[in-house]
Structure 1
Amino acid sequence: ADYRDLEELAKQKSGFYIVDVVDGAAKTTFTELDVCGVQVMEHDASDKTAFAVNEALQRLQAEKGKIALLRVSGELASGKPSEIDFAALKQRLLDGGATAVYVNRNALRSREDGEVRVGGASRREIEERVFKERAADFRSGIPQKNALELLDSLRPPISEGERKADYEASVVKKGLGVLHEALES
């Protein structure tokens, strides 16, 4: 079972029906089963720092003997999702009595990881703008021109009849050549 299956299980009753037929008339009785209790928790991280979200999550309590589902969503005001210690949180909830812990953080975003929005007439123009936009995020001795050359060296299509291993080797060789040239200049 995955997160969504368990979330559905928590929303509805599970069990079975017993059907008694007496003189041709059917009487049904639903018998509820709580095979596995599910505790659903949600946390909105919108406009909070990664530190504040981490602190708030550490205060969550698990119900003993239940599966704990935690959904964390929203855009952090500062910090990155990786700064939130989900491993420690899971361990603490397990130590607190949860039988299992599932964390869904697919909708957790960081302003620092914001999308680069660029327009351009051609694919090449867009690539150049993206490289320029993101250059500030990386400390590298490789100039933008060489980074674009590296990108070009990684994209040639496989030739008809060319073996995959030969193709991969030639792409790696070209890429390493561009990197070597960039680092020497």
Structure 2
Amino acid sequence: MLAGRRRGLEAFSQTEPARIDHADPYSPWAASSGFRAGLPAQTDVRLSCNGQTRNICLRNSSASLFTRSGEHLQVEHNGVRQRHLAVRRGSTLYLEWQGEVHTVTRLDSIAQADVGEGQHGGLTAPMNGSIVRVLVEVGQAVEPGAQLVVLEAMKMEHSIRAASAGVITALYCHEGEMVNEGAILVELD
């Protein structure tokens, strides 16, 4: 099961259009091929497949070969060939695999980090710093993207914003307080 899911995630990477900086199309640093000088090529992606989110590091492998033709993807793995329907719409791939259609979506880790959502419903400090402003109170309703706390770190101000609509259930910081990276600042329900 895991091996099949892994190949499905590899398939996502193989169907992704190459991103090349048009100012210098021959530069290996402008491509998204995973080129690394002196190291094996690899591509790091964060994907969601059928509700499960995973960080995936894809390396070139001689065990699997992917060939794309229109909306079809041919996979050869350990000498066994399979053909799958693979339809891409933006950052989402609809992949028919073993008789089922799977939805694989690439997640933008940078945008998610900018929102500052923690693992347990808390909004965390992205780095060590000082709390400059607390803009909410316990019990206050907030909309997605609302600024909750401003953290000063490395001589820059960083906004901690609500990832979704909700109500502030707890505040774990106050203005002037020094906080460590990963510290929960606000609880949002």
Q: Same fold (TM over 0.5)?
A: no
Q: Normalization by structure 1: what TM-score?
A: 0.26
Bigger Cα Rg: 1
Comparing both structures, which one devotes a greater share of its residues to strand?
2
Comparing both structures, which one devotes a greater share of its residues to helix?
1
Q: Normalization by structure 2: what TM-score?
A: 0.25
